[in-house]
Structure 1
């Protein structure tokens, strides 16, 4: 049997197991282990085993549970609620002010926890009911929360970029920096879209009444304090990292410590909160680690039989495709897969195929794998907010108030998906949008 046929059988077996509803890491890990045993005999067991030790010897992996813990603490301690109250008062008189404030809330939450799910949960439970009560158009605000939550996987400390760095063996610090400007560009486009649309059609977003906004100056100063804590957390976590005082792992430890101290300062750090946060952190971290371990094991077998080189030969030699055409094909495949899988599952499935290919393509881009990491991240976000089966669409439906139907959610997302696609086009035309900052700053870790 040829190695090309073995590679095809491995990939099809994995897809077949996934279609039965098996856990992603179980399906991928089983195919990897079974292929190792059949190809190399009992000695093949060592291949998945060696990948486990490679994973455990990679220090940036330590950031994963710390950032996840930080996100849960910030979410459960009510800091996000205080932030939204501040934006409610200071942006209430602007056209679409509460919706714009929600985007700013998402940017700050993204800069503190790095998880899009956390951002969506906060937006759906805090911002959506408030905007509905104020008479905001439900289709508009559904898109605002989903679009804003997408910033969580792009703005540092993005957990997805940490995962990409683990699997691609790319420097996480450079991936973080590369995500800053694309994330801010997307946030700016979202804000401008909301403001222009609400200016053209004021009925979509009624201005908040003066009774709610005419607070004494002293009360407004108290509200401003809600923004101080997130800024301090961001400074100690990311600012010290950018200035070179802390490494990547140290930065994650600083962030987790600051989040805990913030909850203590707000008198919201209870034993129950700590216990639930620790349990949730352990569950999510273990899920991610099993996924990465399975992907590394599968990648070792897949690359060992020459599958990556065979795909490279097929695309470049036999089909004579332009490198940019290959990149576009890869991005389209992510969008199709995103109808059925989340971003982590997509990464671990296609990493053995795509990452070696990206490294060999002659695109004329310095630091190509870092640039592609940002491209992948945005494309995945488009994938699972795209109807009919986008992962985030159903998550949003489960979190949103009953007044918002699945049809409303489907209608709401298209403008934001289009703005994300525009961001991808800008990154392909001007790669330096992502790569300029990493080229200017050299970080530890």
Structure 2
């Protein structure tokens, strides 16, 4: 190894160590914010007890980094089955003989100590799992993804507020309500991003017809107009499956909204407050998003349309890592990492807009796209089928861009999220698109 290569490897180790530290700091915040009774309680059958998430984070870190990358003896081989997400549905996890809060905290500390030693000794090259620290990046993203899941559990818990944050920055003026994306080819996915997960790979060409896309996500105020117009009571706006779900679930407004006299209020992490009309609507399912879009005379964008709007640079013809360029997200670019505990007003973060002028594509709210979860051409499962492959061709719909609860390490212009079209506990909103005629 040359001196330059050694310096680059040392810098990579420093970055990994910092990302691991930051993820654990967030996990600790989310679990230390409540007492042990709250940690072991199941706040919704859709979610695990917080203490399960914590120990699961440690178990995945042990499996991949301590045992596989490090070749070390197991720390707790006896709990592998308990924390295998595919063996135990979330609804059943409270009945398992889980580690108690003290045991879980001790376990994740012990695993992390061993992982940091493995990091110092690993060459970070050779087999694909360790090349450019991929396994470490995978585990960083895994922990941050569970941190967002735990944040969603906090939103579902009853009781006094325990999480606090400063408000997001204000909106900046918008030059237009929607932006025309020219037709033609662009490169979707990635073959170069070192920590990209298997479903983001490989890069491939897509040729799209021209289309219009909203400059910002749909706001609470815009969505309220749909409610006031009787949108939830008119089957014209809903797909057959969407209307069936709307009736079965008695949907009448976004989750956590309630009528209070002549106004709407929402509950946000234990705080009851008037619905802010200028924020992106959040906690709506795919069916609600699609119904609103049809009512508005538009539609939801496809996944490819979303990504082209987020990444394509018309000046160079290439696809960027992020809407603003190739630099990692900074606080001026996007609302990420539960820094503000709410979406920013629509029009915020002008420094994060795409070359076409589309804003808030990263952070604030996950955005529903009208595409199924399918593999890209040339897809190869890595390092295990259960991350992506087992979910392909289910009833899942795509979500792109991350939310205010997503960490910068766990989102990028190519990152793909997916969920059932009825899910509302996630921090999901949407923006609309419409067809444009070719010139």
TM bracket, shorter-chain basis: under 0.3
Q: Which has the higher contact order (CA 8 A, sep 6+)?
A: 1
Higher normalized helix content (fraction of residues): 1
Question: What TM-score comes out, normalization by structure 2 length?
Answer: 0.27
Question: What TM-score comes out, normalization by structure 1 length?
Answer: 0.26
